[in-house]
Amino acid sequence: MKNPVMAGRKGFGIAFKFTVTISALIILMSFSFGYFISKRQINSIMAEFQDRAETLITTLAYNCEFGVLSANEDILDKAVRAIEEQKGLEYVLIYDTDHNILAHGHSAGGGMDDNHEGIWGRHGLDTVNELVIFSTALTSKRSVIFTGKVSDSGISVYDISMPVKTVKTAEGPEALLGIPTAPQEAVEEVIGVARIGLSLTGVDELIKGTINSTLLITLALMLAGIVITIFLVRLILKPIRELALGTNKVAEGDVSYRVAITTGDEIGALASSFNNMTESLAKAKKLVDERTGELERTNTSLLKTNYELEKITKELKAAQAQLIQSSKMTAIGQLGAGVAHELNNPIGGILGYSQFMLTKIDKPEFSSEDFKTCRKYLEHIERESGRCKTIVENLLTFSRKSDIIEDIDIVKVIESTLTIIGHQMQLKNIKIEKDFGEGLANTSGVANKLQQVFTNMMLNAQHAMPDGGTLYLRARNLNGSDRAAKIAIEIEDTGMGISEENLERIFEPFFTTKQDWKGTGLGLAITYQIIESMKGKIDVKSAVGKGTKFTITLPAIS
Amino acid sequence: MTVNIIIVDDEHVIRSLLTDLLGDNGYEVTAVTNGKEAEDLFKEKSFRIAFLDVHMPVMNGVETLKMIRRVSPDTTVVMMDSFPDKLLNEAIDHGAITCIHKPFDIKEVTDIVERILKVK
């Protein structure tokens, strides 16, 4: 899984975003602020300058009224000289209404010049524009402002003109000369134009200075703002970084890590709950570690136990195999008498007849009657030898240690068992009733183990009937609806029966009721084990004094 | 007078052998398969010698012996066994004169019969 803390570091950090955003805001605000401040400053500088220019031109126009009216150059010159010393004044011009220059002056202090072009050229004035300005100034009722052209000396000039007016009466100029006349309605009349050019250099420098200082202050403020922002962002983000680091450490498994933030604010509270959480985690981890340790220890001991159990199981299996074999031998031991009886009778017959025959053959005359008798004896010998062969074969089959799984004809196994113990049964006055169904299916297993089962069961039945009785041997197919048909084998005696409490224990190893008889208590336990290994079942029903019925169910093979 | 001998054994081949053998030696032999049949025969006639198998169904050798001693005390009883058993001792206690063990030599049988007949 991807670590969210690590993932967060891939993009721009929150500190960077904060700093950039706030810095951008500060820059924007600083510049806007600077712009408006300088704009105001410039406006006020310009307004002051214009006021001064207007005062100058108004004074000049007023002082020129008489001079222009009387066309007295001296008076005009005086008026020109009066303002010529004003700071920044580039030029002064007085015109009559016909655009003739009546007087002029300039900062350079050059002499009067009658030539228009000369004056204009010296002041860098344009001829065409000059006429426009002039006519406008002449017809306008107020002063006309014209921002001057760049002159040849490379400086900007503030050009301003104003019409020179006089109050004219019906009597004409007499009134001006102080001749009393009848009061007439006064008429204002434009008699000329006063014009000045003020250098804008000072103003420009002032504006430049203002802009520079504003810019400087703005930049300083901006810088301070950004520095403070960076510092603040760092200050705010430091505990968050610390927390992130802590989270990372905890995520990596270091639950002993504690965040060292003791501030009383929200971050402090967060750090405190983080530390609490980490502590809980540490406790839980410790518990988990302890439990894991315990589990590991348990697991180890379980593995050990398991190994030991496997060993024991192996040993048990070996012991069981040995038990089966030895119990088989015990059974043979029990059979011993019966086997001897079974064998000694036919052998007795064989021995007797052969000896008898030898005496016949040794006789000097051997009649055809003797021949017939001998033949009869030989038949006896042959038949009895065959009997011995069968018994020996069955005994060998039974005692053989075999593990070969094969198809077993159950009836054949039962009959083979009867060749060994059948006669013994007869001696004990036990009648054997056989009922084997037609077309009995085969089962699969180790034949001699199944024979051991039948021998056990039949010997048990025999022991249960000391005064004789009937042993019923039945076998039939159990054809269920499914293909997995079974074979049922019943071994039923009419003996003493088994009490209910003993019935529960008869399949237990070493359980025996045969105190006088040397029972091992293993017969039925081994029987049970063998039937189980053949995927079969063994059931028992018994009634005391009436008999016992064992039912073995074995899977049939098709 | 011919000597009457009865053979009591559930084993066919033994009955057959003893009948053939003793018959060949000139004795009158009757063979039955168990004590019950013998008992029935003893009701009709008596026998000089009886060969009894120890292990027999219905009525074993010892019981048959007891029966013979009761109904025919003059009969000499010889036991036959095929494996050692405490029943044999019981039989001797009850008056069987001897026992032959299967498988036996035929000479053993004829010798015993001759000895019995010599004694009496």
Chain B residues inside the 8 Å CB shell of A383? 13
- Per-residue pLDDT reduced to its tens digit, A225-236: 889 888 888 887
- Boundary (domain end) residue, out of A208, A225, A242: A208
pLDDT band with cut points at 50, 70 and 90 for residue A480: low
User: Closest residue of A to B14, CA-based?
Assistant: A349
Whose CA is closest to A423, among B9, B69, B119, B1? B9
Q: For A107-123, write each residue's pLDDT tens digit.
A: 544 444 445 555 555 55
pLDDT surpassing 90 at residue B64 = yes
The residue that leads in pLDDT, A130 or A408, is A408
In a domain, A497, yes or no: yes
- Mutation choice for A interface testing from B15, B51, B82 by most A CBs within 10 A: B82
Pairing, β A157-168 against β A187-199: antiparallel
What is the domain count for chain A? 2
Res A110: pLDDT: 41
Q: What residues in A contact B15, CB-CB < 8 Å? A: none
What's the rounded Cα separation, in Å, for the pair B77 and B35? Answer: 13
Residue A59 has a pLDDT of: 85
**pLDDT score at A7:** 42
In this prediction, residue A172 carries a pLDDT of 54
User: What pLDDT score does B103 carry?
Assistant: 92
Nearest to A347 among B83, B103, B106 (CB): B103
pLDDT at A434 over 90: yes
Chain A residues whose beta carbon lies within 8 Å of the beta carbon of residue B11: 345, 348-349
Q: Check CB contact under 8 Å for A348 and B10.
A: no
Confidence band, pLDDT 50/70/90 cuts, at residue A5: very low
**Per-residue pLDDT at A262 exceeds 80:** no
Q: Which helix (H) or strand (E) holds A363?
A: none
Work out how many domains chain B is built from and give that number: 1
How far apart, in whole angstroms, are the C-alpha atoms of residue A250 and residue A253?
5
* Residue B35 Cα, gap to closest chain A Cα (Å): 12
Q: Shortest CB distance from B21 goes to which of A356, A428, A429? A: A356
The predicted model gives A421-430 an average pLDDT of 84
Structure-token pair, residue A268? 């402090």
R_g over Cα of chain B: 13
pLDDT score recorded for residue A125? 56
Structural domain ending residue among the three candidates A208, A228, A249 = A208
A248-266 mean pLDDT: 81
Distance from CA of A411 to the nearest CA of B (A): 25
| A28, HSE (Cβ side, Cα atoms, 13 Å) | 6
Which residue type does A409 have? D
Chain B CB contacts of A353 under 8 Å are: 17, 20
- Average pLDDT, integer, range A367-394: 88
Q: Which residues does B54 contact at the CB level (< 8 Å), separation at least 6?
A: B60, B61, B62, B79, B80, B81, B82, B85, B87, B88, B91, B99
The CATH number linked to A544 is 3.30.565.10
Nearest by CB to residue A348, choosing from B24, B55, B103, is B103
Domain range holding B107?
4-119
According to the model, what pLDDT value does residue A500 have?
87
For A446, the domain range is 404-558
Residues 57-76 on B with a CB inside 8 Å of A are 57-58, 60
Residue A282's pLDDT is what? 86
Q: In angstroms, what separates the C-alpha of B85 from chain A's closest C-alpha? A: 8
Contact across the interface for A345 and B17, Cβ inside 8 Å: no
SS3 content of chain B, % helix, strand, coil (to 5): 45, 20, 30
Query: Is A272 within the bounds of a domain?
Result: no
DSSP B55: S
Per-chain mean pLDDT for chain A: 80
Backbone angles phi, psi at A491, to 5 degrees: -125, 105
The encoded tokens of residue A300 equal 């180890």
Best to test chain B binding among A335, A344, A432, A517 (most B CBs inside 10 Å)? A344
Residue whose C-alpha is closest to residue B22's, from B91, B112, B118: B112
The stretch A268-294 carries a mean pLDDT of 87
Residue of B nearest to A352 (CA): B106
Alpha-carbon distance A174 to B75, whole Å? 219
Query: B83, A336: Cβ pair inside 8 Å?
Result: yes
* Between residues A102 and A182, the one the model is more confident about: A102
Distance from C-alpha of A186 to C-alpha of B97, rounded to nearest angstrom:
204
DSSP H or E segment with residue A158: strand A157-168
Mean pLDDT of A38-56: 87
Residue B48 pLDDT exceeds 90: yes
Answer yes or no: are the C-beta atoms of A535 and A466 closer than 8 Å.
no
Question: Does the pLDDT at position A517 exceed 60?
Answer: no
Identify all chain A residues contacting B109, using CB atoms and an 8 Å cutoff.
352
Query: CA A31, A37, A41: angle at the middle one, nearest 5?
Result: 140
CA-based nearest residue in chain B for residue A373: B20
Q: How far apart are CA A440 and CA A412, in angstroms?
A: 11
All residues of chain B having their beta carbon less than 8 Å from the beta carbon of residue A345 are 11, 13-14, 82, 102
Q: What span, in angstroms and rounded, lies between the C-alpha atoms of A78 and A64? A: 9
* Residue A433 burial (C-beta neighbours within 10 Å; 0-12, 13-18, 19+): exposed
Segment (H or E) for A542: strand A537-543
pLDDT of A181: 57
Which region among A328-337, A371-380, B90-99 has the lowest average model confidence (pLDDT)?
Answer: A328-337
Q: How many CB atoms lie within 10 A of CB A515?
A: 7
Q: Is A406 helix (H, G, I), strand (E, B) or coil?
A: strand
CB within 8 Å: B14 and A353: no
Return the residue of A nearest to B108 by Cα: A352
Is residue A484 in a domain?
yes
Q: What DSSP character marks residue A440?
A: P
The whole-number average pLDDT for the span B45-54 is 93
Lowest mean pLDDT among A208-222, A489-503, A505-519: A505-519
**What is the C-alpha separation between A123 and A106, in angstroms, rounded?**
9
Paired strand residues for B80? B53, B100
Residue A46: per-residue pLDDT: 86
| Dist CA A102 CA A105 (whole Å) | 11
Residues of B numbered 30-59 whose beta carbons fall under 8 angstroms of chain A's beta carbons: which are they? 55-58
Band of residue A241 on the pLDDT scale cut at 50, 70, 90 = confident
CATH, residue B46: 3.40.50.2300
Q: What percent of chain A has pLDDT over 70?
A: 80
Quick one: which of A446, A454, A452 has its CA closest to A402?
A446
Count the Cβ atoms, other than its own, within 10 Å of residue A128.
7
- CATH code, domain carrying A107: 3.30.450.20
CB atoms within 10 A of CB B43: 8
Please report the pLDDT score of residue A551 as a whole number: 95
- Contact list in A for residue B17 (CB cut-off 8 A) is 348-349, 352-353, 356, 380
Query: Is B102–A345 a contact, with Cβ atoms under 8 angstroms apart?
Result: yes
For A370, other C-beta atoms within 10 Å of its C-beta total: 14
Residues in chain A closer than 8 A to B104 (CB atoms):
348, 351-352
pLDDT at A322 over 80: no
How confident is residue B71, by pLDDT bands cut at 50, 70 and 90?
very high
Helices (H), A85-153: 116-123, 127-139
Greater confidence, A140 or A418? A418
* Residue A96 in domain: yes
Least confident of A11-25, A306-320, A444-458, A515-529: A515-529
Chain A residue whose CA is closest to B25 = A356
Which residue in A50, A506, A9 sits closest to A248, CA to CA? A9
| Mean pLDDT calculated for residue range A122-140 | 64
